[in-house]
Structures are given as structure tokens and as C-alpha cells.
């Protein structure tokens, strides 16, 4: 029977028998039940938000315009994504049907792919549906209470977080059941890789489309409104302001929701595959362990959100951080309990989980240091703004290039320590080799990092809700005292959005390494089965765990992987630039054709800007998305068919069929593309996320009165720098998170086609 992961690759002994499946199956039902609890909690949070006051008629008019624009964009965007997904499903099915070894699994892979895509789309849509209704409630609450407004915004964000993690948990759990997981637990996880691929595909297009939309509108609104016309950010006279507020939702709510959904899906599937390979040690409990960790995530996040309270004079970030600390501590306690009951109280493995939790915490704090106004990097950019836009941009780029250093050290330490703890935790197991033990430790670290994902995503969605609330307050001309409250919430929201991006890239780094190991092992398994089926020679000591950089296909694949991340980022940034130009031209035209707009005697046509940005964003997202999916496939197939002459000349330890060496050039080139693309993508994403965030907050720091305050020359320079950083931090950077994981899932799913 074909499997996507090699038992032989990990295991040197004979699988044990006598595992009490009936008892262990209870953990699956616990996980599924808590997944349902998460969805119910999301429903109750949503009901509490929707039952709140909706403010004045003028506030509702603005909120309705945001809602209608967001819903129209999402409908068109997901219709486009659905067509792309269906086309790719057909290609995937045909590719699997062509080989007799993969043909029996074609239906299951395609079904899991479509379900993963559907769940990802549903999670993004559901979260945004609530967020575009929470903004008006948050704005209305801010008229009387900062604490109440904070709670409403966080509860609205919690809907996204809980739906994302709950749907991921339920989707994978039900597919595991449907694919015979309770009867053949060792094979079922291998057939779930399509779920992660579907989630990755939707996440890429959702993040790309939403990112292009939000930044095109933002750049257009800022350059014409703030720099040229000298009007405030959310001034109702700006025709692009509604499109800008719509963009906050489609980019930061739906896009980031799909991003984190993809992380949890890929991590769950990858870790379940490793659990299947370690079945002789842990039995079914080892396979179900990732699902229980996500269940713990849901419970801890519900409690973390519930304890958040804020006084009227308290910094909202302090209240949000308290909830994060509570969530983290509860997740750690739950993780320890899961280790005790499911993994035989192997406390070294808990050390691996702590590595992941600590990595999550450190990434949040490092991102805060580089993007918060009270720290050196942002203040240096603000100071550089006093001498013009050029020095602002130079300083911002320098800060962006500095930012990967400490996070990379953290990632390296997490991988090395978790690998070591994995080896120590399974030291008494003689049927598993050391490499498998260490890789399982890194998998547990990845689970640990994602053990607070629902709360982190709630904080992320908190950002666009409070941003929209501030816009509604300003556009409806509420008193300055109310705007001060929403400004505090908006400042906290900007920080939480930046923190979530750091968290997302950290989780992508660990998950990508896990899936890279899965890809190497998958290739080994396919080769072994094909050689055996053909009566060839399979050297017992041969593995595909090492890829030779001196090989020409490998070096070429590595170069192409690095190039992909830069070309992808270029396409995303240029897409923002082109779409922003159309917005700027429309705003200029409206100001020119209707002088009453600037005089306050006429209303601009907000809907026209919304329609322009929608069309531009959907058009521009297709090419980068196709490039991301098509590059690994093209590299693998080209070297598969034209790379035989690059096989090694020494065949003493090489698989042979009919006296000829198995051509591994395609698989090796894709392995190099995946690993080097991941490394360059991580570094580039950190540069753009943190550099863009620092530019943004340097502008906001000046707006507090520093260096001349609003409308000063320093402020104008900072607006230009922020405009440069906008597509960095909200389009190309977040899309690279998704690209990294998409490369891992697409290569894992398409691995049979590369040989």
C-alpha cells in the first residue's frame, strides 16, 4: 500500500501490538468535542457583540458603507479563489491517477484538498462577518467607556481566533475518522496532506488579494489626503477613506485568519504523520496528540479572552498582555497534562513544547521592540524624518535589515534545543533512530508555539476593529474626548497586528522545517516502494535525508528558491503600486470635478473608490499566486525529465531499477528550492514586516507631537516612509508567511510527480 510517509525511514524494529485502541479513541472524541465548544464560544462572543449599541444614524451610515464594501470584495475574491481551487483539484486528481501507486489515493487527496480550502475560506469569511459589525459597536461603546469598547473589540476578534482553530481541529479530526483512522491509524494521517495544501492555497490568495486591496487604498488615501490636501487620516472629505477602512477587514481579518488557519492545519497534519511513524512507541495517542494540543489552545484562549478587563486610564496593551499571559500559562499546564496522559510522562518532550511556547513569547516581544514607539528603532526613524523622506527611508531600511538577526538566533536555538530534548525524551526507545526522535521534538516545539494561536489571532483582529472604530468616530464628527479613547485602542491595535505578524513568521519557520523533513521522508518511501515493485535493488543503508549542494540540480533549485521569494515580493509590491495609482487618480478627479468636497458642502463618491480597488486587487493577485504554486511543480517536472544525466556516477549505494539508477534530480531540486526558499523567505518577511511596522509607528509617534507633530515637515517625510512600508508589512511580508508554508505543502502533495 502506498503511503505518503515512510515507516521504514524512521523505524528499525517491529511495531508493537496490543495497543488499546478503544481506550485511546477517547482522545479523538475529546478533541472533536472541544472543537465544537470553540465554535459555540465563538457564537456566544458574537452574540454578545451583536447585541450591543450601534450608535447614531450617522455612525451607522459609515459602518454600513464599510460592511457593504467588504462583503462585495469578499464575494468576488472567494469566487475567483474557488475557480482556481477547482482547476487545481482537477490537475491534482489527474496527476495522482496517472501512477498505479498513487491512483488508489487520488479521491482522498482531492477530497481533503477541497475540504481544507473550504474550511479556510469559511473561517476567514466568518471572522470578517463579525469584525465588520463589531467596529460600530466598539465605536458606540467608546462614547462612554474605554474598557467596554476594548472588551467588545477583543470579543469580536475572538470569534475569528476560535473559528479558525475550531474548524481546523474539526476538519482534520473528521477526515481522520472518514479515512479509517480508528481502524488503520497508521495510514490515515498520510492522506490528510491535501487538507493542508487546500488551506495554504486559499490563504495565499486571501492574503494577497486582501493585502493588495488594503494597501492600495491606504497608500492612495494617505498620499492625496495627508500629504497633498493636508487633511486627517479618516477625514470624511477623502474619497478613499471608506476603501481604506474596508481594506483593514479584508486584509487583517480574513487574510490573517486564513494565514493562521493554514499554520494550524499544516502543523496538525505534519505532527500526526510523525505520530504515525512513531506508532510503535505511543500508539494512537501519539497521532492524536496534536489535536489535543489544539483543543487545549481553544480552552486556554477562551479563558484568556474572558479575563481581559481594562480601566479607563489604563493602557489597553496592558490588559491585552494580561490575557496573553493567562492563555500562555494555561496552555503550558494543558501541554504538561497531555504529555503525562498521552506520551507516557516523558518530561524531556515537555521541554520541546516549552521551547515552542518560549519562541512564541520571544517573537512577540522582539516584534514589539522593533515596532513600538517607546523603543529605539522607531524613535530613530522618527528623528531621521526631520531631515526629509530620503533619510527616513534609509533609516527604515536599516532597521528592517537589522530585525532578522535576533529572531533567527531564537529559531536556531528552538530547533537545536527541541531536537535535543526529543532525543533525550525517547532515549529508552531502541526501535526508533535518533534522527526520528529529534524531529519529533521539533514537531512538539511547533505545537507549543501554536498552543496560543486562537488568542493571538483574537488580538490581531482586534486591530482592524479598533481602526475602523476610530474612523467611524472621526467621520461622524464625535467629540474629541471620544476620539482620544479610540486613538488609544487604535494604537494598541497597531501593536497587536505587528505582533501577530511576528508570531506568524515564527510559526511558519518551525512548521516549514517539520514539513521539509516530511518531504524528504516521503521521497524515500516512494523510491523504496517503486524499486521493490519493479524488482530492483534497494540498498538498505540508503536514505533521502541528505541533499548534496554540490549537485548541479540541487544548486539550481536552491537559486530558484531564493529567487522565488524576491520575485514574488516584487510582484506583490508592484501590484500595490499599480492599484494605488488608480486610487490616486480617482481621488484627484473627484477633488477636481467637485470642489464642494474639500469645502465640506458635498459628499465624495466612496463607492467608486471601493469598486476601483476591488477590481485592481483581484486582477493583481492572480500572477503571484500562480507563480507560487507553479514554480515547485515546474522545477520538479523539468529536472525529472531532463535531469537523468546529473545522476551520480557511483551507484554502490543508490537505488537501481533494471540496472539503471533511479533519477532523483527532480526530487532533489525541489528539496533545495523548498529549503532555500524557506530560509530566504523567513529573512525577507522579517525585514518587511518589522521594517514596515517601524515606519508606520514612527509616523504615529510624530503625530503625538514629537518633532513638530502633525503637518510638520517631519510628519510629511514620515508619511512617505510609512507609504513605502505599507506594502512591505501588509502585503508582501504577510504573503511570504503563506508562501513558505505553501511551498512545503505543495511539494509534499506533489512529491509522487517528481520521480
Q: Which backbone phi and psi does 182 adopt, to 5 degrees?
A: -85, -15
Residues present in the chain in total: 755
Q: Is 650 helix (H, G, I), strand (E, B) or coil?
A: coil
Q: Take residue 600 and report the three cell numbers written for it.
A: 465640506
pLDDT of residue 81: 85
Q: What DSSP character marks residue 656?
A: E
d(Cα 183, Cα 252) in Å, to the nearest integer?
Answer: 41
d(Cα 179, Cα 109) in Å, to the nearest integer?
Answer: 10
User: Is residue 54 a part of any domain in this protein?
Assistant: yes
Instruction: Name the packing angle between helices 284-306 and 453-475 (round to 10°).
Output: 30
d(Cα 214, Cα 6) in Å, to the nearest integer?
Answer: 44
Q: Which backbone phi and psi does 662 adopt, to 5 degrees?
A: -65, 130
User: Is residue 716 a part of any domain in this protein?
Assistant: yes
User: Is residue 635 a part of any domain in this protein?
Assistant: yes
590 close to 239: Cβ distance less than 8 angstroms? yes
Q: Is 388 helix (H, G, I), strand (E, B) or coil?
A: coil
pLDDT of residue 542: 73
List all residues 6 or more positions away from 701 whose beta carbon is below 8 Å from its beta carbon: 373, 378, 379, 382
d(Cα 392, Cα 383) in Å, to the nearest integer?
Answer: 8
Q: Take residue 573 and report the three cell numbers written for it.
A: 509590491
> Which residues does the chain have with pLDDT short of 50?
1-19
User: Is residue 651 a part of any domain in this protein?
Assistant: no
User: Is residue 102 a part of any domain in this protein?
Assistant: yes
The CA-atom distances, in angstroms, between 269 and each of 27, 73, 445, 515 are 16, 31, 15, 9
**C-beta neighbour count of 596 within 10 angstroms:** 11
User: Is residue 665 a part of any domain in this protein?
Assistant: yes
List all residues 6 or more positions away from 468 whose beta carbon is below 8 Å from its beta carbon: 63, 66, 131, 132, 135, 138, 139, 245, 248, 249
Burial 368-387 (b: 16+ CB within 10 A, else e): bbbbbbeeebbbbbbbbbbe
Structural domains counted in the chain: 1
User: Is residue 360 a part of any domain in this protein?
Assistant: yes
**C-beta neighbour count of 54 within 10 angstroms:** 14
User: Is residue 460 a part of any domain in this protein?
Assistant: yes
The pLDDT tens digits for 403-429 are: 999 999 999 999 999 999 999 998 888
Instruction: Name the packing angle between helices 57-97 and 106-142 (round to 10°).
Output: 170
Global pTM value: 0.84
The pLDDT tens digits for 489-535 are: 887 887 787 777 777 777 777 777 777 877 877 787 778 777 877 77
Angle at 506 between CA 10 and CA 518, to 5 degrees: 20
The candidate with the shortest Cα–Cα distance to 520, out of 386, 369, 674, is 674
Domain span at residue 141 reads: 7-13+24-646+656-754
Instruction: Name the packing angle between helices 57-97 and 453-475 (round to 10°).
Output: 140
d(Cα 445, Cα 497) in Å, to the nearest integer?
Answer: 23
240 close to 225: Cβ distance less than 8 angstroms? yes
d(Cα 231, Cα 394) in Å, to the nearest integer?
Answer: 26
Q: Is 537 helix (H, G, I), strand (E, B) or coil?
A: strand
**C-beta neighbour count of 197 within 10 angstroms:** 32
d(Cα 293, Cα 334) in Å, to the nearest integer?
Answer: 8
724 close to 695: Cβ distance less than 8 angstroms? yes
Amino acid at each position: 500500500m502506498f503511503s505518503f510517509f515512510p515507516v521504514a525511514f524512521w523505524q528499525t524494529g517491529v511495531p508493537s501490538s496490543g495497543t488499546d485502541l478503544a481506550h485511546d479513541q477517547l482522545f479523538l472524541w475529546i478533541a472533536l468535542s472541544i472543537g465544537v465548544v470553540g465554535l459555540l464560544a465563538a457564537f456566544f462572543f458574537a452574540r454578545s457583540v451583536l447585541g450591543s449599541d450601534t450608535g447614531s444614524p450617522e455612525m451607522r451610515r459609515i459602518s454600513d458603507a464599510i460592511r457593504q464594501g467588504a462583503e462585495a470584495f469578499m464575494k468576488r475574491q472567494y469566487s475567483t479563489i474557488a475557480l482556481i481551487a477547482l482547476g487545481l483539484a482537477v490537475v491534482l486528481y489527474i496527476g495522482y491517477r496517472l501512477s498505479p501507486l498513487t491512483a488508489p489515493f487520488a479521491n482522498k487527496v482531492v477530497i481533503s484538498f477541497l475540504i481544507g480550502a473550504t474550511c479556510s475560506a469559511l473561517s476567514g469569511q466568518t471572522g470578517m462577518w463579525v469584525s465588520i459589525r463589531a467596529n460600530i459597536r466598539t465605536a458606540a461603546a467608546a462614547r462612554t467607556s474605554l474598557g467596554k469598547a476594548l472588551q467588545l473589540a477583543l470579543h469580536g476578534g475572538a470569534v475569528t481566533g476560535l473559528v479558525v482553530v475550531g474548524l481546523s481541529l474539526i476538519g482534520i479530526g473528521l477526515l481522520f475518522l472518514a479515512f479509517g483512522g480508528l481502524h488503520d491509524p497508521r495510514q490515515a494521517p498520510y492522506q490528510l496532506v491535501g487538507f493542508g495544501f487546500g488551506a495554504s492555497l486559499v490563504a495565499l490568495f486571501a492574503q494577497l488579494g486582501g493585502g493588495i486591496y488594503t494597501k492600495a487604498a491606504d497608500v492612495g488615501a494617505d498620499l492625496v489626503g495627508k500629504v497633498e490636501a493636508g487633511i486627517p487620516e479618516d477625514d470624511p472629505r477623502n474619497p478613499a477613506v471608506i476603501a481604506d477602512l474596508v481594506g483593514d477587514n479584508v486584509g487583517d481579518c480574513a487574510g490573517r485568519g486564513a494565514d493562521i488557519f493554514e499554520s494550524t492545519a499544516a502543523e496538525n497534519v505534519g505532527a500526526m504523520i510523525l505520530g504515525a511513524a512513531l506508532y510503535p512507541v505511543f500508539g494512537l495517542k501519539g497521532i492524536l496528540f496534536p489535536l489535543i494540543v489544539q483543543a487545549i489552545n481553544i480552552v486556554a484562549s477562551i479563558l484568556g479572552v474572558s479575563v481581559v478587563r481594562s480601566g479607563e486610564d489604563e493602557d489597553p496593551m496592558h490588559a491585552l498582555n494580561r490575557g496573553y499571559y493567562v492563555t500562555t500559562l494555561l496552555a503550558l499546564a494543558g501541554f504538561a497534562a497531555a504529555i503525562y496522559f498521552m506520551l507516557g510522562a516523558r518530561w524531556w518532550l515537555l521541554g520541546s513544547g516549552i521551547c515552542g511556547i518560549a519562541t512564541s513569547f520571544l517573537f512577540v516581544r522582539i516584534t514589539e521592540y522593533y515596532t513600538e514607539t517607546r523603543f529605539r528603532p522607531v524613535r530613530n526613524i522618527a528623528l531621521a524624518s526631520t531631515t526629509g523622506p530620503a533619510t527616513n527611508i534609509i533609516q527604515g531600511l536599516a532597521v528592517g535589515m537589522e530585525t532578522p538577526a535576533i529572531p533567527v538566533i531564537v529559531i536556531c536555538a528552538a530547533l537545536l534545543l527541541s531536537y535535543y530534548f526529543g532525543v533525550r525524551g525517547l532515549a529508552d526507545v531502541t526501535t526508533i533512530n535518533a534522527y526520528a526522535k529529534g524531529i519529533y521534538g521539533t514537531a512538539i516545539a511547533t505545537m507549543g508555539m501554536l498552543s496560543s494561536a486562537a488568542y493571538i489571532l483574537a488580538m490581531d483582529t482586534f486591530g482592524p476593529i479598533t481602526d475602523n472604530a476610530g474612523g467611524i468616530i472621526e467621520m461622524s464628527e464625535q467629540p474629541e474626548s471620544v476620539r482620544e479613547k479610540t486613538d488609544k485602542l487604535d494604537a494598541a491595535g497597531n501593536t497587536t497586528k505587528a505582533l501577530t505578524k511576528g508570531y506568524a513568521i515564527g510559526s511558519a519557520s518551525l512548521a516549514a522545517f517539520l514539513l521539509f523533513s516530511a518531504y524528504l521522508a516521503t521521497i524515500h518511501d516512494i523510491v523504496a516502494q517503486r524499486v521493490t515493485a519493479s524488482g530492483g535493488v534497494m540498498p538498505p543503508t540508503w536514505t533521502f535525508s541528505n541533499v548534496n549542494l554540490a549537485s548541479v540540480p540541487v544548486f539550481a533549485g536552491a537559486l530558484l528558491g531564493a529567487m522565488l521569494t524576491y520575485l514574488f515580493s516584487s510582484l506583490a509590491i508592484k501590484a500595490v503600486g499599480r492599484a494605488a495609482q488608480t486610487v490616486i487618480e480617482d481621488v484627484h478627479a473627484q477633488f477636481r470635478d467637485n470642489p464642494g468636497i474639500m469645502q465640506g458642502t458635498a459628499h465624495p463618491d466612496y463607492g467608486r473608490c471601493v469598486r476601483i480597488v476591488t477590481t485592481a486587487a483581484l486582477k493583481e493577485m492572480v500572477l503571484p499566486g500562480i507563480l507560487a504554486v507553479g514554480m515547485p511543480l515546474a522545477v520538479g517536472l523539468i529536472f525529472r525529465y531532463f535531469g537523468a544525466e546529473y545522476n551520480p556516477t557511483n551507484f554502490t549505494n543508490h537505488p537501481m531499477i533494471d540496472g539503471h539508477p533511479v533519477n532523483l534530480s527532480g526530487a532533489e531540486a525541489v528539496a533545495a528550492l523548498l529549503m532555500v526558499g524557506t530560509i530566504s523567505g523567513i529573512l525577507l518577511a522579517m525585514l518587511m514586516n518589522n521594517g514596515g511596522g517601524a515606519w508606520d509607528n514612527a509616523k504615529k509617534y510624530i503625530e503625538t507631537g514629537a518633532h513638530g507633530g502633525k503637518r510638520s515637515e517631519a510628519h510629511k517625510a514620515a508619511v512617505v516612509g510609512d507609504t513605502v512600508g505599507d506594502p512591505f508589512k501588509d502585503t508582501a511580508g504577510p504573503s511570504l508567511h503563506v508562501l513558505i508554508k505553501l511551498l512545503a505543502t505543495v511539494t509534499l502533495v506533489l512529491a509522487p510527480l517528481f520521480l
